[in-house]
Each structure stands twice: as structure tokens, then as C-alpha cells.
Amino acid sequence: MTEKRNTYKAQKRTDYKAPNFTAVDIDLTFTLDDTHTIVKNVTTFKRLTSDTKAPLVLNGEDLKLNYVKVDGIEAKYKDVKNGIEISSVPDEFTVELENVINPSENSSLMGLYKSNGTFCTQCEPEGFRRITYSLDRSDVLAKYRVTIIGPEYGCGVLLSNGNLIERGTRKNRPYAVWEDPFPKPSYLFALVAGTFDIVSDTFTTMSRRKVALELYVDRGSYDRGLWAMQSIKDSMKWDEDRWGLEFDLDNFKVVAVDFFNFGAMENKGLNVFNSVYVMVDPTCATDTAFYNVQSVIGHEYFHNYTGDRVTLRDWFQLSLKESLTVFRDQEFSSDVANRALTRLHAINVIRGPQFAEDASPMAHPVRPEEVMEMNNFYTVTIYDKGAEIIRMIHTLIGESRFKKALNDYLRKFDGQAVTIEDFLCCFEESAGVDLSQFRRWYTQAGTPHVKASWTYDEANKNLVLKLTQHTNPTRDQKEKEPFYMPIRLSFLDKDGHDVHPAELSSDGFIIFNENEQEYRFTLDKDTFPVILRDFSAPVKLDAPYTMEQLQHMLSFCDDAFIKVDCATTMQNRYVHDNLEIAAAEGVLREPAELIASYKSILDSVDAQSDLILINETLKIQSIANLMETFDKINIDAIKYAHDALETKVAVSLVNEFVQLYGKIKASSSNYSVTDMGRRALNNLALHMIAVAKCAMDKKTEASEIVFNHYNGSKNMTDKLQAMTDAVHLDLDCKSEILKSFEKDWSKDALVFDNFFRVQATVPNKSAIDNVKKLLSHPSFDGRNPNRVRALTGALALSNPVALNDISGEGYDLLCKQITELNDINPSVAARILTPLLSFRRLDEKRQGMILNNLNSLMQMPKLSRSIYEKVSTALK
């Protein structure tokens, strides 16, 4: 028998049709069983269309249907593609049906599945149809009542959205009944059942209502949940203080599960989290992990308004809730943790993965026009570029008008499923702003390139600033119209003072919205412009600063992004200027200006300095971000120049780093923003010392100091830095540290993921062998997404050097893993496939090898829709 090749069809945004029916009340009864869960579903429907002949079509996938009744009478139904059709139904009626599912077999982790002993659900975007038959679309909002009957072997915790109405035991089985007072789309439904430790607390809202808070974590891990609980309370307080938004239910529940495809999910009143974004304590998690827990807890909580109370009309509008919620979580982290650090992280996401996506065949507008598999569109473009767009609106209208418009939007559309267009119209009206040209940010894919230049007009004492913009064509659009963007500006004089010319508004930005524009400012001759402060628009800026001007800005500018960017620009120029020599593996010159700037920073560091900012400035940027500064990628030359740059900085400043190391001590091994800065800088010093010693033929000394660092601290941030340096620099202490880490943590999956990640990210070919070996490590589990992301995922997404090794072994290994994952978990498979799509930016040899692999992926039997969409798009 020859298997029919799968092909899938794309949906178009403009094909949206309002539903013929809506669901009003949904009453679900789950009789849980590992392999044979019975779902009884009683839903009342109402016809919305005037076409009285229109049949009811319900979505359902991989379900076994026992019976269907309409108004109590067994009904005939027809199997249609991914669902059933029931014809001749009245205008209002009740459907009762029963279906069976198998949670244990569900390795896709969409729908109801068993994760490490826990039943849990993931319904966004279209997982509810894998639980029961329904109108599984975001514009059908219904009230839910959910009865959960625990499995025969018993189970302590049975949760769903909303309020607990009843609980007890029936026929020796525990049961619980939940009712959610807010109508919601099916994608926000959740069910969790299992055995947990519970961290309980309360939050008193601004109108003095008491909300019960419950955080469910693995048995025995109570303490690791405390920071997440604190973060819940901080999020609730912040949403009230900054936007006046008060929580709307009597209880709020968060559950940590071990097997999860994404970060977390904002199900109404019952957020479900990947345990990596919940479980932290200083001995098992890094400072970054603490910071991320706070931010993701915030993100999901903030969805309660931006996403749950006001939801999406259809999935093309995804960015409506995600961009606004990312903007909100970034502001939260800025206010409660550190603004500069939060901004710099966000900018790195844009300039790394987002620019890469814009330059790839999967480039798409923030509001996409065509989608085959929605799971492929939870992207850095939809989320992070979307958040930059919201930030630009915030810049344009200012905080107070933004706050008013946000509240108007939430009031006007409360309980509705709306579009990005609704949002924009509401903001235009409320803030009194015209966003017509600004809308191009939602309709045009691709990164705008902005070129700046300036001259001095002696006669008029004017600095004349000229800006041009150009956006490369993307597959979907050949012609690009100019974008409307705020460019934040300031001016520095030769003494490093800020000068504010009369022509610059007090907000400090200009509007740039044509292909070419000129601006005049009355200024002295040796004053020059600081352009794109705070990265006020998500563009690639090309400005002809001299090295002296970059050094001057680095010393005197008061904007965190500009400071760090000056160092980054010096690094970029070094790599670009030396690329040819690097390609020939020649001898590169010293990065003298960068070293001079770094030396003056290092000479003046003390306990009073902004250590977080200094650390960000001193970092040598990743190879991945460097790659995004090139159109065509010569990976070997970039790696060679990157390493030379880092080594030269390290060797020239080794005395300064030795001086710094150990000088600024964290006050304790607990997490705090201040200590995070101290540890970060100290760990950077360690890294640079180790790099320098290796280059100076003193590898034994490097090993010694790294080994002592590992053993001298109980804090995971420190331990992980030492382990990374030991493994990546191949130091003598490597195997001892790995052994000790394995002994301490192999039973602790989240922590042990680091053991895999560190070895998969060695920046050379040996990482491929490491990954091959670790695939058969006793605790590797291809069904656990975190483990897959820590091993194959790390090779694919965090190790461009090994992945692109000229042997082609990286590609072969990755595609072999993707083939296996295609059946197990298509979402995860499609995610780690991403870097291969950009093969056309590489040299011909590598292009050929990737092409072969992509072609064989296309031949795979039962090719999933996720992979089909990405690979076929790349091959077009």
C-alpha cells in the first residue's frame, strides 16, 4: 500500500465567518482514567444565523464517540473532517454526548494528558477538540460547569476553572464540581488532577475583597513554590497600582506541571505552568530563573484582563492579547525588578531571534494573513515585536493617555471576542490619535532598516539630521510602504552634556514616517545626535558614528540601551572589519577602542556602581546575535572573529578582571536584584579570567579557579557558571564537576536539564557527540519537552556553531530527532526545526546538506501539519 502524502491547506485571515451557533452553557463530567477517560458533555446551543437549515458542526479530534442526543433523543450525525455534523436542529437545543479519550497515550500534550502522574489540559489554541466535541473557536463564549470524578486509584486534588461548588466521594471515588461565573472560550478551559503540595496564601484587593491563592507543586517541593507565590501577590498588587485592575474571582490557582509544551497558560482562574517557571530556590535555580518566574507569573496573571476578560475573535488576532500582555509583563519586571535589564533583554530578543524570523521564509506580519497550523505562530514576531508595537503606541501617546485608553478598551469590550482593529480604533478614539499609517506595523512583515546621517549648516547654525528607511521584501509582500515610528533623540556636546534644542519636543522624540526625511536643530557645531534612545522602534539602525563618538556616548549618555549598544556596535564593527582575515584564519588586530572603554569602566567599578548595566555592557555578544548583523552568514569566520574578540579583550584586561573577581560579593546566596547584579559581574569576571588563562597557556590555573568557584558556592548561578566554563573551555576539572553535578541532581529533572544543556552548547563540533551520547543517558526522555529542549533543542536553538558544523552531522542529528518527534510531539518538533529554514543565508555546501534533510523530512509518513507548513514554506 502506498501512503498518501499529506498536504494541508492554509486558512486566510479574511475568510473569517461568524459562527452559525453559539454555546451558552457547557456541563462536563469527567470520569478520569489513565487510558479510558469518559467525558460526558451537555451543552445548550443557540442559533445565531437566520439560515434555519444550517447544520451544527462540532470540532473533535482523536475522540471515540459513544452517543449523541439532541434534546434527549438519540440523534443522527455525520462524520466530517475533524468533527461531526448534526442537521435539522432547532434554534435552541441541548446536545448530550459522551466520548472517550486516552490521556496516557497523548504525547502531543495538547488536550487532556497525563504528565508525570498528573492529569492536566492544554487547550490553546485548538486542544479542546481533543477532549470533547465542541464549537472550538475563540469567539464562542460559554459558561462552564465541570464535574471531575477522580481515577479509581484515588487522587487528592481535582481542579477546574472558577469556584468549587461541591466535593465528596461517590462510589469510592473522589469528585469535585466547579463552576466558572465568567463565560469563556474553550481555549481557556482547564482541568488538573493529581497529588500535590499546596502553598496557600491570600490577597486583599483594592476594594478589600479577600482572594484565596493556591499554588500546586510536586510533593515535597513546597519551599520551591514560595517565590512564585510572592510573585502572584506582587502581580496582583502591581496590576491595581499601575492600571487600576482588580482581580475578579474569589480564588486564583496556579499549578506547576513537569510536561508542558510552552512556558505557561492563562486558563481563567487556573493558570497551568511549566514547572521551570515556578519551582525555584537559590540552591537549585539561577538568578535568571527567579527573574523569569516573576515575569511569567506576571504574564499569565495579566492575561486575566488582556486575554480572558477581553478575548480574541479568531487566531489571526493572537497578537492582540499576547503583545499587550508581554508589554504589561515587561513593565511589571521593569517596575519591580530592574528597568534597564528588562529592556535590554527585550531588545536582545528582537535583535536576535526576531530579526532572524523576519529574515526567514516564515516571516509574517504581527497580524498574519495565512496560517496552516496555529501552533507555529506563537512566535517572537507575534509576542515580542508585537510588544514593541504596543510600546511605540505608549511612546506616542504617553503613560496617562495610554492608561485611559487601556481602561476604555477593557470596559468597552468586556466579555467580548474582538480584533486588533477594534483595539486600534478604541485607542485612536480614546487617546485622540491617528494610527492609520501606524497600522502598517500589523500588516507588513520584515525589519525596517533605518539609515541616519547628519551635516552641519554653518550659516543657520543647524544640525541637519537625515533619516531614510527601507524594508526588504518578504515572501508574502514584495513592496513595503514606509512605517510610522517614534525616534527618541538627544544630543551630546563635546563635554558630554545633554543639550536640548528648541526644535525637539519635550517628549524627546521625532516622528519618522516617510522613506526619507530631514530634521533641523539649532545647535553648536560639535554636538551630535544620540539616535534611537531606548530602542524606540524595532529597526536596524545604521548611524555613521566615529569610534570616538561611540566611546563618548558610552561614557556620558544616560540611556541604558545606548550605552550597551555603543559597546555592541564596537564589537560588531570589529567582527565585520575583520571578517575576511577571519575567513582565512589570519591574525586579527587588537580591538583597541573597545578595550580602552572597558578598561575605564573596570577601573571605576565599586559597590556603588550599576553592576547590572556594567555587566551588560562588558558582555561579548552571542554568535547568534552577531549572525543577525549579516545578510549572508559565514559561520566559521564569524565564530573565529567572535572568539578572537573575546580572547583579546580577556587577555588585555586580565589584571582588571582578576582585581574585580571576588571584590564585589553578594550579600547572601538568596535571590535579590542587587545580588543578581553582583553575582552576574563576578561570574563574568570568572569567565573572562578563564578565557584569558586558556589563551595564555595557563589552562591548569583556569581549571583551578573554576573548580574552586564551583565548590565555593552553594548558589546555582555560581555553580552553573563554573560548570559552563569547565565544559565549554574543556578544562581539567570538567569531568569532576559533571560527575558531582550528576550525583547531586540527577533525580531532580528541572535542575538536571542543565547537565544536558551545558554539554549540548559547547561551541564546537564536540557538542554533536555529546548530544549523541546523552540521547542514551538513562534519564533522557524524549517525551519530556524540557529535556528535549535542553538537549536537541539547545543544539538547534542555542548552538549555531555545532549545528552548522561543516561535517553536516549537526543537521543529520537534528533531523533524525525531528523525525522521531513528529509522531510524539509535533509542536516541539516544529519549534526546534526553525534554524534550518534559513538555509539560504548559508554557503552552498551547507545549503545543499540542509536541503537534503528538508527534502527527506517532506517524505516522512504521517508528516504533521506543523512540520509540513514550515518545511514546505522554506522549500518554496
Q: Which residues are catalytically annotated?
A: 300
Candidates 98, 300, 422, 565: give the one binding ligand ARG (CB under 6 A): 300
Candidates 141, 264, 588, 871: give the one binding ligand ARG (CB under 6 A): 264
Neighbouring C-beta atoms of residue 35, cutoff 10 Å:
11
Choose which of 83, 125, 174, 183 interacts with ligand ARG (CB under 6 A). 125
Least separation, in Å, of the C-beta of 374 and ligand ARG? 7
For residue 344, give the amino acid letter.
Answer: L
Single out the residue of 275, 375, 536, 569 in contact with ligand ARG (rule: CB under 6 A): 375
The grid coordinates of residue 285 equal 535555580
**Residue whose C-alpha cell reads 460547569 in the numeric block:** 145
Name the grid cell of 547: 569610534
Scanning 319-327, 333-341, 708-716, 849-857 for contacts with Zn ion by CB under 5 A, the matching segment is 319-327
Residue 264 site contact among Zn ion, ligand ARG, none (CB < 5 to 8 Å, cut-off depends on kind) = ligand ARG
DSSP string, 559-605: -HHHHHHHHHHHHHHHHHHTHHHHHTT-PPPP-HHHHHHHHHHHHT-
Among the residue ranges 128-136, 264-272, 342-350, 528-536, the one whose residues contact ligand ARG (CB under 6 A):
264-272
Question: Closest distance between Zn ion and the C-beta of residue 325, in Å?
Answer: 5
Rounded CA gap, 57 and 73, in Å? 18
Which of 112, 265, 602, 626 touches ligand ARG (CB under 6 A)? 265
The footprint of ligand ARG on residues 307-336 (CB under 6 A) is 322
Which residue number, 325 or 348, has a Cβ lying nearer to Zn ion? 325
Per CB under 6 A, the segment of 57-65, 259-267, 349-357, 671-679 that binds ligand ARG is 259-267
For residue 253, the partner it binds in ligand ARG, Zn ion, none, with Cβ less than 5 to 8 A by kind, is none
- Residue (379 or 713) nearer to Zn ion, CB: 379
Using CB under 6 A as the binding criterion, the count of chain residues that bind ligand ARG stands at 11
CA 67 to chain centre: 41
φ/ψ of 727, rounded to 5, equals -80, -45
d(CA 755, CA 533) in angstroms, rounded, equals 39
**Residue 124 within binding range of ligand ARG, rule CB under 6 A:** yes
- Give which of ligand ARG, Zn ion, none residue 124 binds (C-beta under 5 to 8 Å, depending on kind): ligand ARG
By CB under 6 A, tell whether 386 contacts ligand ARG. no
Strand ranges, E, within 605-714: none
Of residues 562, 242, 534, 543, the one with CA closest to residue 395: 534
484: phi then psi, degrees, rounded to nearest 5: -100, 115
Q: Give residue 109's region: left, alpha or beta (phi > 0; psi -120 to 50).
A: left
Interaction of residue 266 with ligand ARG, rule CB under 6 A? yes
SS3 297: helix
CB of 130 to ligand ARG, least distance (A): 12
DSSP code of residue 351 = I
Q: Which is nearer to ligand ARG, 295 or 617 (CB)?
A: 295
Task: For ligand ARG, give the closer residue by CB, 123 or 654.
Answer: 123
Query: Could you tell me if 645 and 579 are in contact, meaning their C-beta atoms sit under 8 angstroms apart?
Result: no
Query: Residue 159 corresponds to which amino acid?
Result: L
What separation in angstroms does the CA of 266 have from each of 91, 188, 195, 283, 438? 33, 7, 21, 28, 29
Q: Applying CB under 6 A, which part among 261-269, 581-589, 680-688, 794-802 lies near ligand ARG?
A: 261-269
Q: Which is nearer to ligand ARG, 383 or 483 (CB)?
A: 383
> Quick check: 277 and 264 in contact, CB under 8 A?
yes
Nearest distance from residue 670's CB to Zn ion, in Å?
29
Amino acid identity for residue 481 in this structure = E
Taking the complex as a whole, how short is the minimal distance between the CB of residue 301 and Zn ion, in angstroms?
11
- Least separation in angstroms between residue 377's CB and ligand ARG is 8
Shortest Å, Cβ 384 to ligand ARG? 11
Give the residue, chosen from 8, 16, 222, 378, that forms a contact with ligand ARG under the rule CB under 6 A.
Answer: 378
Nearest to 532 by CA among 485, 482, 487, 466: 487
Residue 656: HSE in the Cβ half-sphere, 13 Å Cα cutoff: 21
Shortest CA distance to 265 belongs to which of 392, 120, 146, 423? 120
Residue 255 found at the interface with ligand ARG (CB under 6 A)? no
Q: Min. distance of Cβ 368 from Zn ion in angstroms?
A: 17
Our CB check for ligand ARG shows the closer of 373 and 616 to be 373
Of 260-268, 546-554, 621-629, 805-813, which part binds ligand ARG (CB under 6 A)? 260-268
The region that residue 338 occupies, defined by phi over 0 for left and psi between -120 and 50 for alpha, beta otherwise, is beta
Among 816, 754, 748, which residue's Cα sits nearest to residue 789? 754
- For ligand ARG, the binding residues (CB under 6 A) are 124-125, 262, 264-266, 299-300, 322, 375, 378
Q: What are the residues binding Zn ion (CB under 5 A)?
A: 322, 325
